[in-house]
Amino acid sequence: MNCKPILKTQHGGRGTGGFTLIELLLVLVILGILAAIVVPKFAGRTEQARITAATTQINSFATALDAFEVDNGYYPKGKSGLQDLVEQPRDAQSWHGPYVKDIPKDPWNNEYIYECPGRNNPSSYDLMSMGPDKRVGGDDDITNWQNKR
Instruction: Answer whether 89's CB lies under 8 Å from 49's CB.
Output: no
pLDDT in tens, 96-129: 989 999 999 999 999 999 999 989 999 899 999 9
Q: What is the DSSP letter of 141?
A: -
Decide: 113 and 136 in contact? Cβ < 8 Å: yes
Percent composition of the chain: helix, strand, coil (DSSP 3-state, to 5): 40, 5, 55
Residues of the chain with pLDDT under 50: 148-149
Contacts of 102 (CB under 8 A, 6+ apart): 86
Report domain extents, the chain: 32-143
* pLDDT for the residue 148: 42
| The predicted structure's pLDDT at residue 33 | 81
Distance CA 63, CA 55 (A): 13
CATH of the structural domain 32-143, one choice from 3.30.700.10, 3.30.70.580, 3.30.700.30, 3.40.50.720: 3.30.700.10
Q: Is the pTM of this model over 0.85?
A: no
pLDDT of residue 66: 92
CA-CA-CA-CA torsion sign (90, 117, 140, 62) = positive
